[in-house]
Structure 1
């Protein structure tokens, strides 16, 4: 299992459009093979910045999603709303305390 973190920054006037896209597609994204968690965060001090955290069973599962029609549709709509280049990381969780 690994975590995919994506940082996205939007023009203020496009935040609601992004949230609408996410709301519409989040269940389908989460239902993708190998995706075990999907979360969306918004920065407290810079509300134009959002992060998605998704947990994936295998790297192949993420790649299958990234090559899917669903991803291509969501990404095409989302990237048109950016005000900066998105950043993404794939990381292994080392410690989790709850």
Structure 2
């Protein structure tokens, strides 16, 4: 089964890093419990603490879209409206290579 992979690249405002991290962490458990969520991992750059990214794997695009429209995610977006300098969503496809010796 093909999965739907999303990388969310996030840069918080320099003076909002702690608030951003707390808000992003608040999404983990509730999102991981959603139907169709396979992987939902948050990462923070060791050299630039304002840089975060989510690595997400969903069973389908439709289930990811449903996640993006949940009440808790809508509330999160309102709560963090002035926290982030940049956010980009990248839909990815895993590439498998066959290796031969």
Aligned residue number for residue 24 of structure 1: 26
Aligned residue number for residue 88 of structure 1: 89
Q: Which structure dedicates a bigger proportion of its chain to strand?
A: 2
Of 5, 8, 11 in structure 2, the residue corresponding to residue 9 of structure 1 is 11
- Cα deviation, 1:16-61, whole Å, max 9, x if unaligned, reads 1122122333100111211111111112332211111111000000
- Unaligned stretches of 5+ residues in structure 1: none
Aligned residue number for residue 37 of structure 2: 35
Q: State the TM-score, normalized to the length of structure 2.
A: 0.82
Paired residues, what number?
95
Once residues 93 and 24 of structure 1 are traced to their aligned partners in structure 2, the CA distance between those partners, rounded to angstroms, is: 28
Larger Rg: 2
Runs of 4+, deviation exceeding 6 Å: none
Indicate the RMSD between aligned Cα atoms, in angstroms. Answer: 1.7
- Unaligned stretches of 5+ residues in structure 2: none
Q: State the TM-score, normalized to the length of structure 1.
A: 0.84
Once residues 19 and 41 of structure 1 are traced to their aligned partners in structure 2, the CA distance between those partners, rounded to angstroms, is: 10
